[in-house]
Structures are given as C-alpha cells and as structure tokens.
Amino acid sequence: MLFLLSLLLIFMFDWVKIMDDYFRKYALLACLFILSLVPTSANAEKRVALLIGNSAYQHTVPLPNPANDVRLLASVFRALDYEVLEYRDVGYIGLKKAIRTFTTKLGEYGPQAVGFVYYAGHGLQVGGINYLVPVDADIEKEADISLYSIETNALMQGLTSVGNRLNVIVLDSCRNNPFKRASRGLSVESSGGLARMDAPSGSLIAYSTSPGHVAEDGDGDNSPFTRALAQEISRPGIGIEIVLKRVRQQVFGQSAGRQLPWSSSSIIGEFCPAGCAAGPARVSPLPGAAKITDPAHQAWLTIKDSKNRRILRSFSKRYPKSLYAEFARITMDELKPGKSRTHAAPVALKNRELRTLGKTENEEHGRFFVIMGSFPKIALPRANKRLAQLHDKNIKSHIIDTNNYPNLTDGLYAVVMGPYNRDYAIFKNIKAKQLVPDAYVKSGR
C-alpha cells in the first residue's frame, strides 16, 4: 500500500508542474493530506509477547503444566495480533537468548512498543532476590543459584534500557524452593514463594500468588492462574488492572482462599491487552475450554478439601463416571477411623499406568514418589522421627535410600509415600502438603 501511494504522489507532483498557480496550491494540499493518512512505524503501536514455559526440569521436580500454559496463552495472544515469541523447556543459554531477542525487537519497534512477558516454571528467592530457574539448572549449594538461574532484576533492567512506553511482566512461578530439599548442602532463607518487587515506571509486575506464598500447578492441563488469565485477557475494552483483579477473584475462589494473586503497577495511562475500544470478543473459544467448564471438574474444585463424607458421597453419586468420583471415594475411606487406602490408586489411573509401563522409558510414565522429607545418611534418627510422626497420623510411608534411584540425589534417606504413577502422585501430594508443607513429587526412574 505504501508503495502504491508513493507512485501516486510522484505522478501528482509531475502533474502539478504543468498546472497554473491557482490549481497548484490545492494539488499540493491534497498531497499533504494523503501523506498524513499513511501510518509510520514510529506512530504505530507494536505489541510483542515473550512466553516461556519450563516443565521438563532435569535436576529437580518437573512441572506438568507450564508448557501447556504457554501453548494456551500463545493462541490467545496471536488472536489478539501480538507478535509472539514462544519458548518451552529452555536452559540457561536459551533463556538468556530469548530475553535478548525480545528486548531487541522492542528496541527496533520504537518507544511506542508494548512488551508482555509471561514466565511459568520454577522460581525461587534467596535473600530477597528472585530467580527464574532454567530446566538445566544443576544447583547443589546456595552459591549455585546465581550462577545457573536468571535474576528477575536483570530482566527488568533489560526492559528499562529499551525505553519503550509500557511493559507487563507476569510470573506464574511461585513454587516452593525445590532445590532446598533435593540438593546437598543447600540452605536458603526463603520459606517459599517469591519476594516483593516493585514495578519501575511504565511497567506492571503480576504474580500468580502473593509475596512469600506458593502457587498451585493445578490438577488440569493448566494452572488455575493461567486459565483465568487466558479468559480475562482476551476481553476487549478492559484495562490490565481490571483484568488482573478478575483473575485474582477467580483464583482466590477456586483455591478456597489458599492462593491470592498479587500485582504492582506503575503504569501511567490505560492499557487494554485486547484493545481499549469496546466491542465483540476478537478471539475464538480458548483451547481446552470444554475442560474448564466441565461440571464434574468445577464441582470437584469446590468440594475436594471437604471432610464431610455426606458431601463426598453425594458428589460420587452425582458424577459416578468421572475420575474425580474415585478421588472422592478414596477421601471417604481415609476419613474412616482405622482405615486407609493410601496406596490404592484410582482405577482409571491404575489401568492407564498398566497400559503404558514397559512400553516407554519416558519419565512421564515412570514411577513417582511423594517426598515427605530428605535427610543426610548421618541423620537417620531424624528420618525415623519424621516417619513416626506420619504413622501417628495414619499416613502410610516408608524410608528409601536415594542411592538406589537415579533421579534422586545420592547420600540421603528420604521419607516417601509411594511409588505411584505420575498423576496419582500429584494428587497425593496435595494431601501431603497439609501435613508436610515442603512435600513434593519426584520421579524414581
């Protein structure tokens, strides 16, 4: 279009030369008017989204959902005409290159460019400094964290140096520090979650949960925070602060108050992720929307922490064919005095495991433990004490030598529940955290 307009203007200037003074004046005004209609790159707002999801961690607890979360948000942002830079399971060098590519593009698009950064994966804080953890981070002591992880302040400084008008940074990464339990000699000050970080001028930082707390990875294909974000961010005419407020309401309600998203904003003016002009939605139905609106799934989110056997029995009768009905029956059995089915995996999960075991060496189909505590070999009495505490609460657990399992750190005794298949280990870990907040899932293959 710009090329055709240029040819038209050249023709008009040549034509103006042969006209008398009276018509020449009005012809020149027409040329200037046409030029004013041509958008320039300096005035056009370019929106770029950097999406990073790390699931397949090599030296610590893998996360099921971050890669899925990135796929979901990538489809939403592309439908909103963002330029999307999508990365999954990136190591240290890959993470550095992704940030450099992103900031370079923002710089090329000029001061009116808008940047949107989304990171899902392991994140931790040491001494009030937050870090994003690449999938190849091999951390065995506290000093390794700054060597093998990316400091969030470095990301913020890179964006500030670009000088574009607005940046949004979303961190769905506030998990418990996985290396505190899985690595030798690591001692950190963090008790879980990320530290508070104020947003510099012209930017907004959003966390999937409040500072110092931990977020849930979710029992579906996406984290609760990302599901809500994908829904709300696609609504036209809604400012980013209102978007995040609605996300906060959804997540807080679905988690029964356990998770409260938080944000810090220094944005001047208004920014609407889907455009500030009100109108019909510009995006197609979200991938996985059927799962999000599944009645059994929604009902289970509401009652899954209930200790009332009548409520659980009613759920099982209402949704007898759902996988969650088996979870409800397990919970009811565990509420019976003196009875426990801790090691009885749901039938659907057990059958799927039997079909897949032996057919693949993929870690996803391997055997997983719920780690209830790891202790050095010289601290066996502490491990036995933890085991006794769990037995007192009717939790079936035992001690294993981590040297016998390739994916566990050598030189430790671990108090574990399992082994289970991956899905059921995640389910049991939700229960375990009620007794041992630092419980986590780890493959034994």
Tens digits of residue pLDDT in 44-82: 579 999 999 998 888 887 888 899 999 999 999 999 999
User: What is the per-residue pLDDT for 84?
Assistant: 96
Under the phi-then-psi rule, with left for phi > 0, alpha for psi from -120 to 50, and beta for the rest, what region is 421? Answer: beta
Element (H, E) at 416: strand 412-420
pLDDT at 4 over 90: no
User: What is the per-residue pLDDT for 75?
Assistant: 93
361 vs 382, more confident: 382
Residue 84's SS3 state is strand
Of 406, 403, 394, 404, which is closest to residue 417 (Cα–Cα)?
394
**High-pLDDT (> 90) share of the chain, %:** 22
Lowest-confidence pick of 156-160, 220-224, 291-295, 378-382:
291-295
State the pLDDT confidence band at 408, using cuts at 50, 70 and 90.
confident
Burial class (CB in 10 A: 0-12, 13-18, 19+), 295: exposed
Q: Contact, 363 vs 62, CB < 8 A?
A: yes
| For range 327-340, the mean pLDDT | 62
pLDDT at 259 over 70: yes
pLDDT tens per residue, range 79-123:
999 999 999 999 999 999 999 999 999 999 989 899 999 999 988
410 vs 247, more confident: 247
pTM attached to this predicted model: 0.55
State the pLDDT confidence band at 341, using cuts at 50, 70 and 90.
very low
pLDDT tens per residue, range 148-185:
899 888 888 888 888 888 999 999 985 545 554 433 23
Q: Provide the token pair at 82.
A: 């963002």
User: What is the per-residue pLDDT for 91?
Assistant: 93
Of 376, 378, 402, 397, which is closest to residue 386 (Cα–Cα)?
397
DSSP 8-class letter at 357: B
User: What is the per-residue pLDDT for 362?
Assistant: 39
Q: What are phi and psi of 47, to 5 degrees?
A: -115, 125
* Other C-beta atoms lying within 10 Å of the C-beta of residue 223: 26
For residue 47, CA distances in Å to 50, 102, 111 come to 10, 11, 11
State the pLDDT confidence band at 328, using cuts at 50, 70 and 90.
confident
Q: Which of 39-43, 215-219, 259-263, 321-325 has the highest mean pLDDT?
A: 259-263
User: What is the per-residue pLDDT for 220?
Assistant: 74
Q: Contact, 140 vs 184, CB < 8 A?
A: yes
Of 61, 75, 95, 335, which is closest to residue 217 (Cα–Cα)?
61
How many whole angstroms separate alpha carbon 120 and alpha carbon 439?
20
User: What is the per-residue pLDDT for 182?
Assistant: 39
User: What is the per-residue pLDDT for 286?
Assistant: 41
User: What is the per-residue pLDDT for 20?
Assistant: 52
Q: Provide the token pair at 215.
A: 């977020």
